[in-house]
Amino acid sequence: MKEFNGVDYNTIDINVASSKSSEHKYIHTEILKLIKNNDYSEYSKMSRYIKDLYQFRITSDYKNEEVSFEKATKANKYSQELIFYIKENFHV
């Protein structure tokens, strides 16, 4: 990511290194903070979507479970809504 919320990549890299967190977790936390400050009802929904997507990824990548069409469709829907919300509201 070149820039996020007016913060350039080098600053994000420094923030991630100093927080002892992964870049994914840092961006996840920052996105949820922005959404929470923008619209709390959307924050609740998007927070739940991110949690569900994370669980879906763990199940599909690390457990020996077959992914159903319904789960894959739901995950795709959640990710598309999240991407759309971020692009529309934060011009990323």
pLDDT 10s digits, 59-71: 888 887 888 999 9
pLDDT mean across residues, the chain: 84
Q: What is the DSSP string of the chain?
A: --EETTEEHHHHHHHHHHHT--HHHHHHHHHHHHHHHH-HHHHHHHHHHHHHHHHHHHHHHHSS-PPPHHHHHHHHHHHHHHHHHHHHHH--
pLDDT band per the 50, 70, 90 thresholds, residue 29: confident
pLDDT band per the 50, 70, 90 thresholds, residue 47: very high
Give the model's pLDDT for residue 4.
Answer: 62
pLDDT band per the 50, 70, 90 thresholds, residue 81: very high
